[in-house]
Chain A
Amino acid sequence: EAGVTQSPTHLIKTRGQQATLRCSPISGHTSVYWYQQALGLGLQFLLWYDEGEERNRGNFPPRFSGRQFPNYSSELNVNALELEDSALYLCASSLIRGAETQYFGPGTRLLVL
C-alpha cells in the first residue's frame, strides 16, 4: 500500500511569490492535515480537510490556504511568501475524521530567498 505522497520534495521561491504544495493521502483515507515544521519550533498545525471541507485551522495568517479535491488529495497554497515561511511542510492523512493515527508524508522543504 502506497503511503502519503507529497510534491515537490523541494521548492525554492523568492519573497512575495506564491507556493503550491501537493499531497496525496493513503488510498481510502479521507482526512488530510497540513503541518509546518520550522527549525526549533516543532510541528505547527496549519489546516485540516475532511470530505472536501476545511474542518480546522491553526494560528496562521490567511495567506496560508488550501483545498481538498474530490479524490481526497489536497493542495496547500502560501501567498506573498515571507522569509520565515521557510520550513518543512508535512502532510498527514487518517482513515476517518479524527482517527487516532495520522500517517505522515515525506514533506516538502520550502526555502524562501
Chain B
Amino acid sequence: QKEVEQNSGPLSVPEGAIASLNCTYSDRGSQSFFWYRQYSGKSPELIMSIYSNGDKEDGRFTAQLNKASQYVSLLIRDSQPSDSATYLCAGRRTSYDKVIFGPGTSLSVIP
C-alpha cells in the first residue's frame, strides 16, 4: 500500500472553473501536509502547507485537511491555463521525519 495516494489523472477543467485535487494517506501519525506544483520539465515548488483540520486559503488556492478521514485536498478557484501542471501531495510525521510524496495528479486547464 502506497503511503500517499492520488489519482494520476489527467484532470481536465475549463478555464475559470474550480479544480479539485484529492489525496489520501495511510500513516495516521502524519501531522503535516504539503502541496507541490511541478510544471513539465521543471522541479517541484511548494504552494501550500497545512497542519490542522479544516481549510487554509492562500489566494486562489485552498487546502483542506481531514485527519479522521486521512484526506487532504487542494482546490484551485478560477483555474487558469498557467495552472496546468502536476500537483504532488506530500506528508510527514514530524519536522524530523522524511517527507513522503504521492505520485501526483496531472491537471490540464483548457482555455
Is A2 located at the chain interface by the 8 A CB criterion? no
Is the beta-carbon distance between A97 and B95 smaller than 8 angstroms? yes
B80 at the interface (CB under 8 A from A): no
The segment out of B12-20, B44-52, B54-62, B65-73 that lies at the interface is B44-52
Output the least CB separation between A108 and chain B (Å). Answer: 11
Shortest beta-carbon distance, B25 to chain A, in Å? 13
A58 within 8 A of B: yes
Q: How large is the interface on A (under 10, 10 to 19, 20 to 34, 35 or more residues)?
A: 20 to 34
Q: Is the CB of B99 within 8 A of A102?
A: yes
Q: Which residues of A in the span 82-111 have a Cβ within 8 Å of any Cβ on B?
A: 90, 97-107
Expressed in whole angstroms, the Cα–Cα distance for A99 and B101 within the complex equals: 16
Chain B residues with a Cβ under 8 A of chain A: 32, 34, 42-46, 49, 88, 90, 94-104
Which A positions have Cβ atoms within 8 angstroms of B? 33, 35, 40-45, 48, 55-56, 58, 90, 97-107
